[in-house]
Structure formats: C-alpha cells, structure tokens
Structure 1
Amino acid sequence: MPQAVTNVFQRIGRVIAGFSLAQRTIAIIGVAVLALGIVALSSWLTRPTYTPLFSGMSASDANAVVEQLRSSSVPYELADGGATVLVPEKDVYDQRLAAASAGLPGASSGGYSLLDKMGVTTSEFQQSVTFKRAIEGELAATISSIKGVTAASVQLAIPEESVFVSETVDPTASVFVETSGNSTLSPKQVEAIVHLTSAAVSGMKPENVAVVDQSGQTLSAAGVGTTGGIDQQASDYEARVTANVQQMLDTVVGPGNAKVTVVAEIDHSVNERVEETYTPAEGAPPLTEQTRTDTQNGSSSNAGVLGPDNIAVPSAGGDGTSESTETSKTNAVNKSTQSTSTPAGSLLRQSVSVAVDAGAGGDLSTAQLSDLVETAAGIDTDRGDSIAVELVAFNQTSSEAAQAALQAAKDAEGAERQAALLNTVIIAAAIAIPLLAGLAALIMRARRRRGADTEFEELFGARPPALSALDAGATAAIDQAPTTPLAFLETTPDPEPEPDPEPAQVSLERRRAEIDSLTRQDPKRTADLLRTLIDDRQQV
C-alpha cells in the first residue's frame, strides 16, 4: 500500500483514538445514518420503472398472465384491483409477445365472434338467439369500458315480429353494472348507458331500459327513465323548493328561525292528446261544385174548404209553375293536427307550510311572509296549490342541546389535537435534548480545553516536556523529564541585576513576573487551571 495512503489511515486512527465516548457514539450514529441513506438512495435509483402490460382484464385473464410472468421469472405489480398488470419497462414488449404466443389474454367468448361458429345447418331459431347473444356481448363489452365500470351484463327481450300492428310489443333491456369499489355512476353515465343500449336495438325506447348496479340500486327503471322513479322526482322537487324558500327566509329572519316543509303531488300517468283544427282556406277555389235545378209546369185547382153541412165551396182554377235549385260545393280547408304526450312526473299540486319564530319575525306580518313564500315557491292557486305561514314560538331546548354537544365535540377534538401535539413535542424533546446536551458538552469541553491551554501558555510560557509526553501517549517520559522550578515558588532573595539582558530573556522575566503577581493575587484560580489541565491530559 502506498505510504501516503498509510499515513492517511494512521492519521484517521489517531483522530478516532482521541475521541471521547460521546464523540465516538455520535460518529457511529452518523456513519450508520449515512450508510442507510446511501442504501436507500441506491435502491431508489436502481428500482425499475413499471409500465402496464395489459389493463382492463378479467380475473381469469389476469391470473393466466400472472402465471405466465411467474414462470418467466419476471417481476410484476398489480393495479386497479388486479385488472392491470405492470412489468418493468424493458420487459414490456417481450412479455407481450410471449403472452400473445400463449394466447393471453383470452379472446372474448361473446360478441360477434359467436357468429363465426355458426354452421350451415343452423336453424333459424339458433340464428336469432345467437344474434341476440352477440348484441348482448358487444353491449356488455362497450359498457365495461366506461370509466368506473368494471363489469357489465346485458339481457335483451326482443319480441318476434308480427304482421298485426295491434300485437306489436316494444323491446326491452336490462343492464347490470359492477362499479369499482363503492363508487356509483353519475346520472350522465347512467343516461349514456341507457341511450347506448336503446340505440343498439331497433325500436327500443330509452324508457324501456333498466339499469341496476351490484348493490341492487335501480339507476334507471323501465317505463320511467333515468330519473329514478316518480318518488325520486317528487323528492328532488320538494328539496329544490324547500332550499329556495329556506334561503329566502334565512336572509329575512336569520338562520335557524324558520322551518319550511314542502309536499308535492306528482302525476303518475302518461297522457297523450291529439288536437285537430280546421280553418278555411281564404281565396282558394272550391274543390268540387254541383248544382241541381227542378222545374214543374201544369194547371192546378185549389181545393175548397168544407163549409157547413159538408158542402164544398167551389174554388177557382189556374195554371201553376214551380222551380227549385240546389247547389253543393266542396271547399278546401286547412287542417292542423297537434299531438301532445305528457310523460309521468308532471306536478299536479303542491302545499307549502312555513313556521317562523315569533321572536325573530320582528315587524313582519303573516301576510308579508306569505307573499314572500308564495313567490319563492311558485304557488299557483289555479292548480290547487296551498300555503300556510304561522308565527310561533320555537322550542330552543333541542337546538341548545345540539349546540352544546357540537361545542363539546369541538372541544374534545381540540383537546385530542393538543394532546397529540404535546406527545409529539415530548417525544421530539426526549430525542433532541440528549443530543443537544451531548453536543453542548462536547463544545464546552473543547472550549474549556482550548481555554486551559491558552491560559497555561500565557501563565507558564512553553509547555513542559512532561505534558508534551502526555499528549504523545508516552507516560514513561514524565519521570525522566527534568523539572523547572517556577519563579513564584522560589523564596531566595532577588539576584543582582545583570547588565543589558537579551530581548527573549526580558520577555521571559516579564512573563514570570506576571505569573508571580497573578499567583499572589489569585492562588485559587491558578490551582484550578493547573488541575484542569492535568485532568484533561490524563483522559487523553
């Protein structure tokens, strides 16, 4: 090994050997943390990037793909509830080719692929049933691709065609969807499923499609549509009107001082009305015109009137002519036909009842409040709507109890947060205080050692050979080192002055004089400095 490297290691060894117990503990902890950080960083940097191999697979296909990856010893991860398989990015294309060669994922057994298996001897009934199954499979696959839908099943009820119009029956469909997790489909998604299904079958109306999810909730009822039924329509209308009136009253009398109840009656029947209107066509010639004239010529005598005793009174005779004319015209007319279909769910009537706290009503009268509520709720008296507004004294016991319970819950939550924060602070302090105390002790010890060295040098000049031997680890040199008597310990009389001392000797004499003066003024401090310096050197 080169000498330079050996010197570096020896120097490091000497530095470590000079560490105290606390310094060695901190150094070991630091090295361990650094090693763990290096391992974690290298693990994160060398972790492969995973890319989807296949997504949207069924459970059976995902299981087959996972078995294929295990046999190939390729790491993988599952996502989207097992419907997506992730593999390292470098292995994506190789594993796709390997899965394709193994026939994975399996081809769908439904859809129009069923028609490929039909032979020439297939009966007409088998053809119709297979065609219906193919449409059901294609619809199920399409619905399953909607976001939030993991699986779908479609059942179609297509009646046989009939030459009799009166016997025509509309086709219907039922759709079962399974959503991911506990999520539910939005109304727009349900409407999209309904229209997608109805458009795939000739003659199917959207209201004849029923949609149900895995929890048994009816998302679209047959004959009603995607609104969720008449009861749901009534509930939505009542909630909307209640919110409008409540918002207005909260602004007028203050929040919590009014209670609104709305009851709506919804028509469950479907009404169809056909209205035909005929109007004359002005300026148009008649379509047909027919005139008939009858003329009669000849003599006639007027019969007499029977007189008394049945004696006829003679009448005068004369010639008579009669003529009659009859005209028939067929005129052009305008015909207007208007067909109106009213689905179920129209509002028949509604009733609104409002109770206002008498203490919060102020100078407002019942008539004023009734006018406000009538306008906000859209009351129509011709339709049979009714409204009732009363000023009453509210019972505040339950509200006060609820407010007290809410405040207690808030206080308890705040106390829990404070307790959690206090526990965190205590744990952090329990960890930080010993570390800070150890660090402060090391710093103070280092400063103390440097201060002792400085004061010793200021007091006694150069370090004695015995202390230098302690620094080098040579304890045996202490006994062999010559001793130098200190100036302040000598009791002999002052020597005679020597002529012209050298500058170094003058400086040494001045320092010894200062030491002598300090020793005489503060002997305790001098002893403490010597004791501290000797204790530090003995620990080394």
Structure 2
Amino acid sequence: MQQFFSNLSRRSRVAFALGALAIVGITGGAAWWLGHPDYGVLFRDLKDADAAEITTALGQMQVPYRITDGGHSILVPGDAVYDTRMKLVSQGVPKGGSVGFELFKDSDYGVTEFAQRVNFQRALQGELERTIDAMDEVSSSRVHLTIRRDDLFAHDGDASKASVSIAIKPGKHVDARQVVGVQRLVASAVEGLTSDAVVVLDGNGTVLSAHAVDGSGFAADDRMDEQSHLELQLRQKVSTLLHRALANDDFTVSVDVRLNYDHVKQVRERLIAQGKDGNGLLVREKTGSSGKSADDSDPDRLKPGSSSTDREVEYAHGREQEEIVQAPGRIERISVGIVVPDAMPSGELSKLSDVVSAGLGLDPNRGDKVDIASIAPPVTLANDKPHVASANGSSAETSSVDDTDGAQQARGDAMRVSRMPTWAYLALGAGAFLLVALWMAFSTRPRPRRLTAPEREEALQRLRQWISTAEVKS
C-alpha cells in the first residue's frame, strides 16, 4: 500500500484523498438518514387539551413523537402515521375537548332525576360540538341548549332553544347553506326544537343565521342556486334541439323560470252518497203511535181523529277527507326566448316553437310561452378584438400566453425539486463533490513539454534513419 502511494504523484494523492472523503461522507450521511427517519403529521390544528391527551396516549404506546407548530401539530415516524392514528381513534383519542354520551358509562344508580337531566344535556351538547367540529371550515364550536320540560308546570310558550358559537379557521368561510345545515342538525337532535329557534354566531359575535332561512325552510342562496340550475338544464335542452334543427350554433337562447316557494296545505271533506235513494245507509228506525180514548172506562176505545203515529229514521253517511300539500319550490311559469338567423321563414319558426314547447313540456294553461325572433346579425366593419404585434411578428397575446406557460413550468420544476427527499440531496452533493475532485485531478496533471524546432529536426532525422535501417534489413 505504501509503494502504491509512493508511485502516485502529489496531485493523484490529493484526488485519491478527496474521493475517499467523499465515500466516507456519503456513507455517514446514509447512516445518519437511516438512523433518523422522516416524521409525518399525525394530527394538526390541535387544541391544547387535545394535544396533551394525544401525547399522553403516545407515551403509553411508546411511540416517538415530535411537537411542532407551537404545540398544535404532532409528528410521528412516517411509516407509523396511519397505524398510530387508527389505534388512537379506536381508543377515542382525542375526544375533542367535549364530553359526550360516554358520560353515562360509569354513572351511579343513585343519581337524582335532575342530575340525570343535566348530564344528558351536557352529553348532547358535547356530541353536537364534535359533529360541528368535523367540518373543514370550523376549528372549534360551542353548543348551548335550553330543552323544554314536559311536566305539569310547563307553559305552552316554553319552547326549546339553542345557540351555537363557531370559530372559523383562518382563510375559511362558512356560507348560508352550511349555516342552515348546522341549524337543522341541532334542531333534529333536540326534541321540540325548530330551525328558527337555533342561533348561529361566529367567533366575532356576528349572527350568521340572520335571514338564512325563510318561512318555507329554504335559504335565499338555495333559491337562487336551484333556479339557476333549472334554467341551465332547460337552456341545454333547447340548445340541443336547435343544434339538431339548424345544424349550427348560430342562435341565442334565454330561459327564465319562476318558482313558487309558498307552502300550501289544503284539506277537503265531503259526504259520500249511499243507499238506493242516496240518503245513506239505514242504521235505526223507530215507529210509535199515540191517541185519546172516547170512554175512560174503556181505554181501548179511541176517539175518531185523535190518534197519531211517530217514525224516527237514522241514516249513516260515508265521509271522504282529502289533504293536499304543495311543497315549496314548484314551477310557476317558464318563459323561453330564442334568437335565430334572419334566413328562416315564418313557417319554420312556428314548427320550431312547437318542438321547443314539446321538448320542455311547457303548459300554456300555466302561462308558459316560447318567443322565437328571426333577426339579422349586425354588419361588423372591423375586428373588435385588439391585436398588438410584437417585434418577431407574433401577437402580444400569444407571447403572454407563452410567458405564462413558461412561468408555470418553472414553478412546477421548482416544486418537484423542493419535494425531493433528504437522501437525494446528500447523493447530489456527494456526486458534485466527486466530479469536482476528478476534474481538479485531471486538469492539474503535468502536460508534456513541446519540442523546439532543432529538437523536432533531430527527432525527424532519427526516425528517417530507423526507417532506412529497417528497409535495408528487409
């Protein structure tokens, strides 16, 4: 080994030492990386109570963990994230900081009725809080219930009430639909509670449930979304029919749908005629006669014209009761407006109107109508769209699109690089170091000295002599 090093030049020794250092560095980095596995997020956005509960459970399970993000995130080894999470969930960890129906798990039998009622209310509030906290936009919530008591001293005006306070995550938003969903969730869980009696607040004390639900139980945003969705469906149907009929897209369609959200309930009741004469079924008939006797000594002898007969008849009739409930959101009227090219004759317009009416199922008795107008398009003298030419003859719009694509591609490459694991960075660094060392070793090798003109002439003469000597011998 010593002879091997002695035969090497000084620069070769330096290159060999650098290569050995690179190998040792790569080996040490790989050993360090294997001894320090990557950690994955077990839970994030935790409350202090939940974080303390999770860390206690991880300590009992002897699972290594790290606490980051100011105590709001807990990390565990990456290969144990899902397994640990499933074990914690099976143990009911975290409980979310609220007490649910597990409150009755170890309850005493000697608890009074009042205490049982209070515990039930606490458990119900806790279960509702857990359900609301499961929403992506909600970080935490509080539910307060006032449940009506069904006893002799309760008044008819004492209805159940509820209030919900929601802490929304930064950058998130709770829309009207979600507020209505929270109201209906709480109202469905409490007996005798209606959605109108549930007040929803945000963390700043702003009422989110104000005017969220009307008397029909629909939110204003739900009305607009339902109407827009229905108009879009009808417009697509009309466009499909016109595309088949006109063989092009040179037309314009507008659909207006009027919906009725009134909740109407009708009760009708009528008698059903029965029997041969329609008077009904005979239930009971009673006949009796009375009169005055002519001689008190002979009661059986009646005076002429002094007798009377009574007859009572009772009939039973059938009864038919019909209850009709019209649900909110029914269609009240549909109006369709269509503009087609000027070249269509009036007869074709009438046929097209009939086809559209049949395709949409319009009802003239309801007030539905279709108006088709044949209008010539305006004459365009110049292109309205601005076109700015660049120096190379291409448009500015195209160049801006290319720049945008290039920027997006550069961002994508940067994201892919940033997602590389730690060992990849170590390998790249070691490889770059080794390449630099090899380049230095070969670039600093002594180059042969160039011959001068007399030396070249002398070498040429020797070469000629060797050639001539070889020819003579041959």
TM-score by length of 1: 0.52
In structure 2, the CA distance between the partners of 1:513 and 1:205, relative to structure 1 (3 Å rule), is: farther
- What are the within-5 Å matches in structure 2 for residues 343-358 of structure 1? 343-347=327-331, 349-358=332-341
Instruction: Give distance in 2, aligned partners of 1:89 and 1:38.
Output: 23
Task: Flag the structure with more relative contact order, 1 or 2, with Cα contacts below 8 A and sequence separation at least 6.
Answer: 2
Instruction: Give distance in 1, aligned partners of 2:143 and 2:195.
Output: 14
- What are the within-5 Å matches in structure 2 for residues 142-157 of structure 1? 142-145=131-134, 149-157=138-146
- What are the within-5 Å matches in structure 2 for residues 210-249 of structure 1? 221-222=212-213, 227-229=218-220, 232-249=222-239
Instruction: Give distance in 2, aligned partners of 1:67 and 1:164.
Output: 48
Instruction: Give distance in 2, aligned partners of 1:176 and 1:226.
Output: 21
Residue 273 of structure 1 pairs with residue 266 of structure 2: yes
- What are the within-5 Å matches in structure 2 for residues 117-136 of structure 1? 132-136=121-125
2:191 counterpart SS class: coil
Instruction: Give distance in 1, aligned partners of 2:211 and 2:250.
Output: 37
2:186 match: 197
In structure 2, the CA distance between the partners of 1:244 and 1:76, relative to structure 1 (3 Å rule), is: same
Question: What is the root-mean-square deviation of aligned Cα atoms in Å?
Answer: 6.1
Residue 337 of structure 1 pairs with residue 313 of structure 2: no
Instruction: Give distance in 2, aligned partners of 1:202 and 1:338.
Output: 29
Please report how far the alpha carbon of residue 140 of structure 1 lies from its aligned counterpart in structure 2 after TM superposition: 0.7
Please report how far the alpha carbon of residue 58 of structure 1 lies from its aligned counterpart in structure 2 after TM superposition: 1.4
Deviates more, 1:58-67 or 1:133-142: 58-67
Please report how far the alpha carbon of residue 110 of structure 1 lies from its aligned counterpart in structure 2 after TM superposition: 5.4
Please report how far the alpha carbon of residue 260 of structure 1 lies from its aligned counterpart in structure 2 after TM superposition: 0.8
- One-letter amino acid of the structure 2 residue matched with residue 346 of structure 1: R
Please report how far the alpha carbon of residue 391 of structure 1 lies from its aligned counterpart in structure 2 after TM superposition: 2.5
1:204 counterpart SS class: coil
Please report how far the alpha carbon of residue 29 of structure 1 lies from its aligned counterpart in structure 2 after TM superposition: 9.9
Bigger helix fraction: 1
Instruction: Give distance in 1, aligned partners of 2:338 and 2:263.
Output: 36
- Preserved CA contact (<8 Å) 2:160 2:193: yes
1:494 match: none
Please report how far the alpha carbon of residue 192 of structure 1 lies from its aligned counterpart in structure 2 after TM superposition: 7.0
1:412 match: 400
Residue 259 of structure 1 pairs with residue 253 of structure 2: yes
1:262 counterpart SS class: strand
2:313 match: 328
2:125 counterpart SS class: helix
- Preserved CA contact (<8 Å) 2:343 2:374: no
1:243-294 superposed Cα distances (whole Å, 9 cap, x missing partner) = 3224532524544631314141423x33222233443677997443333445
Instruction: Give distance in 2, aligned partners of 1:419 and 1:54.
Output: 34
Deviates more, 1:55-64 or 1:106-115: 106-115
- One-letter amino acid of the structure 2 residue matched with residue 204 of structure 1: L
- Preserved CA contact (<8 Å) 2:281 2:315: no
- One-letter amino acid of the structure 1 residue matched with residue 315 of structure 2: T
| 1:6 paired residue among 2, 6, 18 | 2
- What are the within-5 Å matches in structure 2 for residues 408-447 of structure 1? 409=397, 411-417=399-405
- Preserved CA contact (<8 Å) 1:263 1:350: yes
1:373 counterpart SS class: helix
In structure 2, the CA distance between the partners of 1:46 and 1:379, relative to structure 1 (3 Å rule), is: same
- Preserved CA contact (<8 Å) 1:257 1:360: no
Please report how far the alpha carbon of residue 363 of structure 1 lies from its aligned counterpart in structure 2 after TM superposition: 8.1
Instruction: Give distance in 1, aligned partners of 2:194 and 2:102.
Output: 27
- One-letter amino acid of the structure 2 residue matched with residue 329 of structure 1: E
Instruction: Give distance in 1, aligned partners of 2:308 and 2:373.
Output: 82
Percent sequence identity over aligned pairs: 20
In structure 2, the CA distance between the partners of 1:512 and 1:40, relative to structure 1 (3 Å rule), is: farther
- One-letter amino acid of the structure 2 residue matched with residue 339 of structure 1: E
- What are the within-5 Å matches in structure 2 for residues 485-524 of structure 1? 486=462, 488=464, 509-510=469-470
- Preserved CA contact (<8 Å) 2:49 2:97: no
In structure 2, the CA distance between the partners of 1:484 and 1:276, relative to structure 1 (3 Å rule), is: closer
Instruction: Give distance in 2, aligned partners of 1:109 and 1:271.
Output: 42
Please report how far the alpha carbon of residue 328 of structure 1 lies from its aligned counterpart in structure 2 after TM superposition: 1.2
Please report how far the alpha carbon of residue 225 of structure 1 lies from its aligned counterpart in structure 2 after TM superposition: 7.7
1:530 match: none
- What are the within-5 Å matches in structure 2 for residues 37-52 of structure 1? 41-50=30-39
In structure 2, the CA distance between the partners of 1:389 and 1:210, relative to structure 1 (3 Å rule), is: farther
- What are the within-5 Å matches in structure 2 for residues 101-120 of structure 1? 108=97
| 1:288 paired residue among 262, 284, 288 | 284
Please report how far the alpha carbon of residue 167 of structure 1 lies from its aligned counterpart in structure 2 after TM superposition: 3.2
1:48 counterpart SS class: coil
- Preserved CA contact (<8 Å) 2:128 2:186: yes
Gaps of 5+ in 2: 59-63, 86-92, 295-302, 389-394, 413-434, 450-458
- Preserved CA contact (<8 Å) 2:260 2:330: yes
In structure 2, the CA distance between the partners of 1:361 and 1:7, relative to structure 1 (3 Å rule), is: farther
TM-score by length of 2: 0.58
Instruction: Give distance in 2, aligned partners of 1:224 and 1:383.
Output: 25
Instruction: Give distance in 1, aligned partners of 2:353 and 2:260.
Output: 24
- Preserved CA contact (<8 Å) 2:362 2:368: yes
Instruction: Give distance in 1, aligned partners of 2:322 and 2:194.
Output: 22
- Preserved CA contact (<8 Å) 1:246 1:259: no
Please report how far the alpha carbon of residue 173 of structure 1 lies from its aligned counterpart in structure 2 after TM superposition: 3.7
1:31-90 superposed Cα distances (whole Å, 9 cap, x missing partner) = 898777656644543332536666673146548988999xxxx861548x9654113489
- Preserved CA contact (<8 Å) 1:488 1:512: no
Larger Cα-atom Rg:
1
1:167 counterpart SS class: coil
Instruction: Give distance in 1, aligned partners of 2:376 and 2:51.
Output: 66
2:46 match: 57
2:349 match: 366
- Preserved CA contact (<8 Å) 1:136 1:154: yes
Instruction: Give distance in 2, aligned partners of 1:343 and 1:169.
Output: 29
- Preserved CA contact (<8 Å) 1:219 1:226: no
Please report how far the alpha carbon of residue 236 of structure 1 lies from its aligned counterpart in structure 2 after TM superposition: 1.7
2:268 counterpart SS class: strand
1:75-119 superposed Cα distances (whole Å, 9 cap, x missing partner) = 61548x965411348999xx99xxxxxxx98994655799999xx
- Preserved CA contact (<8 Å) 1:296 1:323: no
